[in-house]
Homo-oligomer: A and B are copies of this chain.
Amino acid sequence: QSVTLWGRLNTTVESQKIGSLDRKMVLQNNNSRLGLKGSEDLGGGLKVSFNLEHGFESDTGAASGGTTFWNRQSNVELSGSFGAVRLGKWFPGSYFAVPDYVSMHNHDTGTSSDALYAYGDFPSSNKVAYFTPTVGGFSSELSVTAGEGTTKRSLDAAVNYDMGPAHAGFGYQKKGDFNQFAVRGLYEFGPLVLGGYIQRAENTFGGVKKNWNVWRASGMYVVGQSEFHLNFGKADNINVNDGAKQLTVGYNYNLSKRTKVYGFWTKVDNQAAGTYFPVSGMKAGQDFSSLAAGIRHNF
């Protein structure tokens, strides 16, 4: 059969603290998902493939982010020597090329995911994209979101480069007044992997155009089945005292290629007017921290 069913359960038990409120114990989903994919060889180098991907809350069983079931992917693609054309829904290429790539400790999911990167409106539905073939280590994606008369069109571009231990990426996104670009690098020094990005974002607040920078550095050190992680990010002020810092320390123990148990400590430090919120229900200026232990299983 041509269909593959795959997925991931990623659940932590966390002791979370918001501002000066009491710590609470929380069962936390870390972007669990279920996917269906398939492809058909059409001959002459041509191939059609599809992806359906459902994100769900592993702690409650609900679809992530509302009632849309295939909230991560729903697309069909025709590919060949010319590259590929894809129609439907999927996450922006600029996201995978930059913040997701360097968030090595837990796939940029859950409370220790990148809270600072400027996502814009994260356009994923109603997209048409062209993917270049990989040439000399370079591959690119250019996608346009159909405005459909009610919302503004958005544009997303990504370039990835891979050559041996060296990896780099570039992302660009534009929708209305918001636009951002970012560069990312990552290098594998044997058991030590170091990565990072710098992002420049621009948007309009109260009629005034502002721009700001976000940067992040991350490192992983591998010893046998163990991984030690450090991840630090900083978002500059947009207006006054609204920047933030984020620090995560993590440890993974790989029980197999597909399964790990892990722990992390993460903290987001908002300035007085900062609104970088890893969980809902927070107010401007509140910090967030969490101590977590969990299990991730890919199937």
Binding site for B on A (CB under 8 A): 1-7, 9, 11, 13, 21-22, 24-27, 32, 34, 36, 38, 40, 42-43, 46, 48, 50, 52, 54, 56-63, 67-76, 78, 87-89, 125-128, 146-149, 255-256, 258-259, 261, 294-295, 297, 299
CB of A87 within 8 A of CB of B148, answer no
Quick one: copies of this chain in the complex?
Answer: 3
Q: Is the interface of A mostly helix, strand, loop or mixed?
A: strand
30 residue pairs bridging A and B, Cβ less than 8 Å apart: A3-B5, A3-B6, A7-B36, A7-B52, A9-B74, A9-B88, A11-B87, A13-B146, A21-B149, A25-B146, A25-B148, A26-B126, A26-B146, A26-B148, A27-B87, A27-B126, A42-B256, A42-B259, A52-B56, A56-B74, A57-B74, A58-B87, A58-B88, A59-B88, A60-B68, A61-B88, A62-B69, A63-B68, A76-B295, A78-B261
Minimum CB–CB distance from A122 to chain B (whole Å) comes to 14
Top 3 nearest A-B pairs (CB, nearest first) are A61-B70, A61-B74, A24-B149
